[in-house]
Every structure is written in structure tokens, then in C-alpha cells.
A and B are shown apart, each in its own frame.
Chain A
Amino acid sequence: MTATDVQATGVPRTRPATPSRPKRRREGAAWVFLSPWVLGATVLTLLPMAVSLYLSFTDYDLFNPPHWVGLRNYTQMFTEDPRYWRSVVATLTYVVIAVPLQLALALVVALVLKSVRRAKGFYRSAFYAPSLLGASMSIALVWRAIFNDGGTVDHLLGTGGWVTRPGWALLAVALLTVWQFGAPMVIFLAGLQQIPGELYEAAEVDGASRWRQFLSITVPMLSPVIFFNLVLQTIQSFQVFTPAFAVSAGKGGPADSTLFYTLYLYDRGFVASHMGYASAMAWVLLLVIGAVTAVLFRTSRSWVFYASDTDGGAR
């Protein structure tokens, strides 16, 4: 910061003539310490993003140098590619099924676990475990085996293989995600423990039923946490890849029923070698996720209740 800058902000110069030298040095040290992160963020995130934005306007096929094609990838995506729209529909269907189910299950289990007194730690870890395991490919493969033609579910329920039927495959993948409700559950649990017990005691005295208490105390008090989980899970669900990739052997089948957006993006980029098209798809996804998140934030004003709103910021 130079002397003129300081003057420009209207701050009177009260310091000696060389005020910035030690400060500048300390800043330098900070930058040096930050450099691994700055380097990582630049080289591994910002630069690739810039490159991918550039590639989205080219017909890069991985082997030959990219050619500028302007908006062709984008127009092709929206007007000439039925498979693109199938992937959009599959992804939206998945988000609409998986997110509410997962959050509802996480909340129910959190409510139950909150009142568990004995072997607390055991139950909590037991319910959290699937989320830790779930990140791995192997669980998705086991899932595929269970829901496959001739698999466990077929034997038990006689419903045939779910992952080999277009109408059921998406549900099988959604169930895999729902089952991994551990992370939102832990956050719900923490949120539940923040609700003051007096509120329930007062409600009890007034003769409110359990259900009434849940609707009038738990839900509003927990709404910031519900909102947080909703935003996080929605963003994650839009980007679902691993379970669908493993369950459908990378094909998004049967009959494109689990052709999620990211799966199709991968297919265009790495199977069909249309990296430009894949990059364009990635940028559209980024914009859509941004828009959906913005909409969620907008609606949150009408249903998310922050204690500080009524306390006048007393806390």
C-alpha cells in the first residue's frame, strides 16, 4: 500500500515516513507461507478452469490441437443431442428422489439417536459407517451385485434385477445414496442438541403432543441446519458420478436410465474423445448448480428461522 493510497481513503497520515516497510516484509512472509496453497489453487483449480472454459469453445479431441468453434458445442447440446436431455432428466429425477429421502431419513435417525442413552457411540458410528464406506467404488459394486439379475434382491423379493431394468435402475442408485445419510445425520444431531430443553418442557406443560412439538419447536429451531444440509446435498447430488458409474458399468444404462449428467460428460470426454463438448457440459452444470443454489437461498428467507432474528441479535 502506497502513501497516496492511504491518503485517498481519507485516513490521516500519523505514522513515520516509512511506515510500510516492516509491514510489507511481514506480508511477504505471509505470502511465502501461503504459497503452497496459492500455488495449488492456481495450478490445480483456476488454471484448469480457465483452460476448460477455453476448450468449451473448441472441438478438442485429446489428440489434435483444439480448433475454435465458437458456441457450436453449446448449440449442439441444447438443440441436437437427445441424449443430453435424457441425462438432464435422469439427473433431475435423481435429485428430486434422493435428496428429500436422504434428508428425511437422516433427520429421523438423528431424532432416534438423540434419545438413545446406552451405547450411544456404537449406534452413532454404526449409522455413520455407510457414509464412510459409501465413498468407495467397492460398495457401489456390491450394490450392483445385490440388485443385479439373479442377485440378493432378486432372490428375496422376486422382483428381477433392479439395475437391469430401466424403470428401477435409477431407484437402486438413489437408494445407495440415501443409505449413505451419515454426514447430514451427524449435522442434524449436533443441531438437535442445540435446541434448549426448556422449550420442550414448556410445550409439555401446555399439553402439546409430540408431533406438535416436532412441528412447532424442532423444525423451526432446526431450520438453519436443514437448509445447510439441503444446499449441500443438492449440490452433491447434481454431481453424482461414482455410484452410477459403478452400478451401470460406466454406461449409464440400461437404456440411458441412469445416464446422469456427469456420466454423460465423462462419456463425451473420455470415451468419444470430445473434450470440448465435455468442457461445455461442465460449464453448463456449474451455472445450473449456481442458479439452483441461488434459488434455494432466495426461498430460505421464508422458511429458515434464525434465533437472532427475534432476539435482536442479543446472542
Chain B
Amino acid sequence: MPGNRTRVSCSVAVVLALCSALSGCGGTDDGGSGGKVVLRYTWWGNPDRAARTEKAIALFEKRHPGIRVQTSFSGYDAYKQKLATQAAGGDAPDVMQLDYRMIDQYASGGVLLDLGTQKAALGTGEIDAGLLATGRVNGKQYAIPQGRGTETMVYDVKEWKSSGVALPREGWTWSQWADAMRQLAKRTGKPGGTDPGQSEDAFEVWLRGRGKSLYTKDRKLGFTADDLTRWWTFTDKLRREGAVSPAEQTTQLDGSVENTPLGRGKAVSDVNWDAPASGFLALVPDGVALAPMPSGEDGTPGQYFKPSMFMGVSAHTSHPKEAAELIDFMINDPGAGTILGAARGIPVNESLRDKLAPALKDFDRTISDYQSSLEGDLKAPPQAPPSGDNALQTTFQRDYDQVSYERMSPREAAKNYITEAKAELRS
């Protein structure tokens, strides 16, 4: 009898030991930080942004000796998927970079902290009221815009100039753009630009140039299958002519500048956002320049100033105050402003923007000048896209794949898209 009891208690002890050994592996990461508060901060971007972010974080840690910031970054597509998984598991990073498209979903899903509760640590007085409002859902400030961006047609300066094709100018129309693409293809032997048919962003610019929008105020689709058919017929024709990139190039687009035809040296231009366009400098040996997006045929501008990205705090963070301090630093600190430049768009802090503008260097200056040239000409930004839009961006590209690989007509693909979009937006 005593023997049996010993055996049972022994095995219990073994199991307990195993359990504690297992849980030991997943121990807290406070161990190596010497009692400091550890913040996880994640973002998407390119190596250029990474270098500047690390430098800014080092300055932040110097100013706040009690806080250590663990950063991690990846490309946009991968980031989007990882963050969704983390957020769903209740394990969102303390501070995260967010896109316009994520805010509605994350805020209504309870992932984000109401930053109105952290007013003491986070100043927003220097941000344009309209811009600040883009981070608000149901009256609560869930995210702070971090920069101002706009779309651009970025091009290989030397290649375009030596081709003799007239340079793009403000107020040019989509048909003038198409002609330029054709001529460039003829004279340089490679497509004039990336096929914009796959990009929901480019489609939005085109659509706004026709006086319409992606979404209506009550969060429904703002366009019809006819509109989309017209857009895809337009881009598909250019693709067939060789004026824009072939399907094999277009399908490799994943949000990084490295995988664009321009970045690979296989086209003269690309349609992109202005801030990430700095990544082209490392890829295009003779440098790139920024041109405004084409307007509607009657001159209506389609592009707009958009909060390029936001910063938000996890609703589950154990350090809301420190997280708010980090955002405050990234947005309002002059030192951070100098280091970050225009890596995430032109600064949102207005006095900082005015102070920094003359001191901006190199490509930051290019972006800043480009934005100044557009000021006053553009129409107001649309309201933040509804939740389902987050997935529709990918759907848009996929459906266009069917067109560019000639497996569906523009009309069939457009009908498909409308069906899928309606299904997504209902949820």
C-alpha cells in the first residue's frame, strides 16, 4: 500500500515538473530588460524607413530611460496578415502602424485603445483637424495619422527624358497619360509603366476624376460594374499594345517597390504612393522624379491627400501611458522629425512641418515639393473605407489577374468583383 502511494505521488511529481518545464519555456520577456517597461512596436516599410526608425527609437530610449522598444517590420502584405492574426489572438503589439483601411475593422473589433484617454501623454494640437478626424471611429480617436501622402506617377528621369516624350505636367488627363505610355514603349523598347489595372488605389483616382467614389457615405459601393468594366477595358487595351507592363510583371506586385516593373528595370514609370517612392532611389541608378496623377478628361483631379499611415495602441497593452508617449515622440518631437523626414509621408505636426520643410534633404525634399505643388488643387479626402475593404484590395488585384491573363473579359471580371465586394461589405 505505501509503495503504491509513493508511485502515484512520484508520477504526479513528474507530471508537475514537466508542466512547469513547459511553461518555463514561454516565460516573460522582462528578464533581459532590467526592470524596464518593454513596448512592442511593429510597422511595415522598406529598409530606408527601417534605418530611420531605428535611429529615432534610439533617441526615444535615450529620452525615456525606463522604456525599451522592441521593433519589427515587414512588407505591407505580410504585415497585414500577421497583424490580423495577432489582433485576433488578443496579442496585438503595444504600438502598431495602421493603414486607413484597417482602422474601422480594428476599432470596431475592440483591438484598439481609445487614445482620448491618454491626452496627458499624447499631444494632437498641432495636427490639422480634418486629418486628425480620419483616425476617429464613432467619435473616438483610435489612431493618430502619422504622415500625409498622396499618389504619384514616379518615373525614371533619364530614361523618360532621353526618349524625347513630353514630360508629364500637372493637370494632364488619363488619355494624355495613355499616349505617353504608348510613345515611351515605342521609343524605349519597354513598357511605359506598371499596368494600373490591378491597383484599387489607381482605380479610385480614375473614378474620382469622373466625379464618383469607391464608397458612398453609407458605406456601399460608389460605382457600378459598368465603371469598372470601362477602367479595365482601358488598361487591358494598353496592356495588349505593350504600353503598360505584361501580366507576368503585374502579378508579382506585392506592395514593395522592389517587385514593381520600374524597380526591376522593366518599365519607365510606376503608379505609387509618394513616401515609399524613396525606395526607388536604390533601384533606379539615374534617379526618379514625381509627377501628379492624371486627372479626369474635364480636368477634375482624382488624387487626394491621404493620411499615409497611422499609429495605434493595443486595447490590451499593459503600458498605455508609455505607448502614448512613444506615439507623441514619433509625431511631435523635433528630433524625431529630423530623423524620420518624409519616410512616412510629410509630418502631420504643422509647426514641425513648417520648421522642417526648408531643412528637408534629398528625396524628402522632392516629396515635400511635390505635395506643395498640389496644395489647394485637390479635393477633400473620402471618409475611411468600411471594414470589408481590407480584403477587397487583394480581391481587386486577383480579379484583374483574370483579365490580364486573358481568362475573362473585363466585363466578366468586373461583375465578379461587384458580387464579391457586395458580399464582403455586408458583413
Q: Which residues of A contact B (CB under 8 A)?
A: 22, 25-26, 28-29, 32-33, 35-36, 59, 61-64, 80, 82, 148-150, 160-161, 164-166, 249-251, 253-256, 267, 270-275
Contact of B394 among A35, A36, A251, A254 (CB under 8 A): A251
21 pairs across A/B with beta carbons < 8 Å? Answer: A25-B4, A26-B4, A32-B12, A62-B87, A62-B88, A62-B109, A148-B252, A149-B252, A164-B249, A249-B77, A249-B254, A250-B78, A253-B251, A255-B251, A255-B404, A255-B407, A270-B81, A272-B424, A273-B84, A273-B391, A274-B427
Q: Which residue of B lies closest to A266 (CB)?
A: B81
Q: Which residue of A lies closest to B110 (CB)?
A: A63
Question: In the assembled complex, which residues on chain B have CB atoms less than 8 Å from the CB atom of A270?
Answer: 81, 84-85
Assign chain B's interface to a size class: 35 or more
Q: Which residue of A lies closest to B9 (CB)?
A: A32
Check if B81 sits within 8 Å of A271, measured CB to CB: yes
Contact of B15 among A25, A36, A80, A256 (CB under 8 A): A36
Alpha-carbon distance A249/B398, docked complex (angstroms): 13
A301 to chain B, nearest CB (A): 42
Check if A273 sits within 8 Å of B8, measured CB to CB: no
Binary contact readout B1-28 vs A (1 if CB under 8 angstroms, 0 otherwise): 0001001100110110011000000000
Check if B251 sits within 8 Å of A164, measured CB to CB: yes
Question: In the assembled complex, which residues on chain B have CB atoms less than 8 Å from the CB atom of A249?
Answer: 77, 252, 254
Check if B407 sits within 8 Å of A166, measured CB to CB: yes
Please list the 8 inter-chain residue pairs (A to B) with the smallest Cβ-Cβ separation, ordered nearest first: A63-B109, A62-B88, A272-B391, A164-B248, A32-B11, A254-B251, A255-B405, A255-B401
| Interface residue? B118 (CB, 8 A) | no
A275 to chain B, nearest CB (A): 8
Question: In the assembled complex, which residues on chain B have CB atoms less than 8 Å from the CB atom of A29?
Answer: 7-8, 11
Check if A22 sits within 8 Å of B109, measured CB to CB: no
Question: In the assembled complex, which residues on chain A have CB atoms less than 8 Å from the CB atom of B72?
Answer: none
Question: In the assembled complex, which residues on chain A have CB atoms less than 8 Å from the CB atom of B249?
Answer: 149, 164
Check if A63 sits within 8 Å of B111, measured CB to CB: yes
Most buried by A among B106, B390, B401, B424: B401
| Interface residue? B233 (CB, 8 A) | no
Chain B residues 335-352 with CB under 8 Å of chain A are none
Check if B405 sits within 8 Å of A62, measured CB to CB: no
Most buried by A among B78, B88, B109, B424: B88
| Interface residue? B416 (CB, 8 A) | yes
B378 to chain A, nearest CB (A): 31
